[in-house]
Structure 1
């Protein structure tokens, strides 16, 4: 599964299929907080063969051979960088235990049908628990796995998507912050392309909740909820399952329009204060977005990149389109 648009939703999601028991639910009421507040739950992936390190390395090597390294992140270490990919991945994994590095394999569902099936199972279960028609509204969903050394810290940041972090091996603490700590300008810059636009400030740690993850536990991150993650003194394997829907994508385009308006000296209203103006702003950015997006990056950023391109007069067009829509 990659893109789930109006045209191909039916082929990407089996709406009649129920989940196969990946997630264990103790209190179904927890899912009432979906996209609003974090919550934890148990899962059954901690011994799943799809997440054994040799299997993941094989999947990553195959992906690099067929598609290039776009799905695989390996640290920019001088010694690793000089190795061919066939040696670089196993060497990076060998160094995980005693080093201070992390690896990422993105969009697993694109690399093997077993991960695609798993993603569909998880989405089906989440739809059952939440009572929301997720598979009708999802525009993008995916699985990304992280393998990290002991005591590695993932810096403070926030993400566009609805996210669920499944702990498979090792332990870690996830610090999830109240959405109120994020400034509107930070979100605007994030949607203009600065993925680390969120700034950690003194005193903010008091506005976080700490969720300790061990194998078999998971935590839900609401969209745009800032977080930082600290590994315990162990190798960690975590799976991020995420999805975006039409509401999140439209809100993102509203923030992008606000970014453009602020650059033009205007003082735009935040999303949610005036739905009619929000729709105007989103539509203005959508004019420049790719009509047939192939990646999540295309969905989120193709429009704003064209607007900001110095070779286009898009800023002037957007200014006219947004006149009076502050």
Structure 2
């Protein structure tokens, strides 16, 4: 592990879940990251001041589980103020792609290396952990993260405060069908929640030192309790997940042109043609994303005029 780590960021799971359930089903985990110096409010405030502004998303924590993304309430504070006033700010905030900081990247890699070794692998590569990314969440008391799905696997670790984390099985498409999965992958992550989904869900009550594993594209919602919360998502994308995300994205584009597509995996040859074309075009566009201004423009083109609502002009 990285010698610079303050504490050994070891993830453990009961009942050998890292072997038997990973990566197909959610399960509870324990970790040793609570109290790590990189995960304290003063250090997070510094990170917020150093990060590109478009990699910090925030809004009011007074959201509903079913939240229309076009009707999200904003908070009239800058990111550093939100961190410093999180107990009373009434806000929800995520710092995205924290692995761009070498210190945080080392923390993420050490955390996943502990999982790799627990599963019998000697390296991240052997364990299939690639495209490692981190997302750091700071939330005020009684804040809600709406029902949504994400395009990566995730070890979610609770650092401070307590919250409810509810995860739902959508493997048969009964919660989100193929069109909705495409939309969440390409447009906005939020989904409509229905109480009828409850039998498909499992709820974890998390305090500092707790966490859970969230499988790829399993919908979930999160709600903090009566104190502020710090938590982190340690994510990665396997080559198969990257392939599925690329196909969902291209299929969504074709659906927007009136050409709905079968789900990935139903026509392997056609999937290969679409994937090759999409990745070629994306390779031409990707250099533009190095500029924050162009990232804002591309986000607006892809997601609409309200896509950058959390960026002050």
Do these two structures clear the TM 0.5 threshold for a shared fold by scoring above it? Answer: yes
| 1:23 has 2:19 as partner | no
Q: Does the CA-based 8 Å contact 1:151-1:234 persist in structure 2?
A: yes
Could you tell me how far apart the structure 2 residues matched to 1:245 and 1:202 are? 32
Q: Does the CA-based 8 Å contact 1:123-1:135 persist in structure 2?
A: no
Deviation per CA, 1:198-248: give whole Å up to 9, x if none.
322351233211111111111011111100001111111101111112111
Q: Does the CA-based 8 Å contact 1:138-1:246 persist in structure 2?
A: no
Q: Does the CA-based 8 Å contact 1:140-1:296 persist in structure 2?
A: no
Deviation per CA, 1:153-209: give whole Å up to 9, x if none.
10000000111110011111111011132211001122333333x322351233211
| 1:186 has 2:191 as partner | no
Q: CA deviation at 1:53?
A: 0.9
Coordinate RMSD, CA, aligned: 3.2
Q: Which residue of 1 aligns with 2:159?
A: 168
Q: Does the CA-based 8 Å contact 1:28-1:129 persist in structure 2?
A: no
Q: Does the CA-based 8 Å contact 2:140-2:227 persist in structure 1?
A: yes
Pair 296,228 (structure 1): closer, same or farther in 2 beyond 3 Å: farther
Q: Which residue of 2 aligns with 1:38?
A: 26
Secondary structure of residue in 2 paired with 1:115: helix
Q: Which residue of 2 aligns with 1:129?
A: 118
Q: Does the CA-based 8 Å contact 1:177-1:225 persist in structure 2?
A: yes
Could you tell me how far apart the structure 2 residues matched to 1:26 and 1:280 are? 43
1:77 to 75, 85, 96: 75
Could you tell me how far apart the structure 1 residues matched to 2:189 and 2:159 are? 26
How many residues are aligned here? 273
Q: Which runs of 5+ in 2 are unaligned?
A: 60-73, 303-313
Q: Which residue of 2 aligns with 1:57?
A: 45
Q: Which residue of 2 aligns with 1:102?
A: 92
Secondary structure of residue in 1 paired with 2:237: strand
Q: Which residue of 1 aligns with 2:205?
A: 212
Q: CA deviation at 1:50?
A: 1.5
| 1:47 has 2:47 as partner | no
| 1:272 has 2:265 as partner | yes
Deviation per CA, 1:120-163: give whole Å up to 9, x if none.
21221222234577526554212221111111010000000111
Deviation per CA, 1:58-110: give whole Å up to 9, x if none.
2222x15xxx42333344423x25xxxxxx61x32343213421232222222
Q: Does the CA-based 8 Å contact 1:257-1:284 persist in structure 2?
A: no
Q: Which runs of 5+ in 1 are unaligned?
A: 1-12, 82-87, 310-326
Deviation per CA, 1:235-290: give whole Å up to 9, x if none.
11101111112111111222233334434544532122333332232223222112
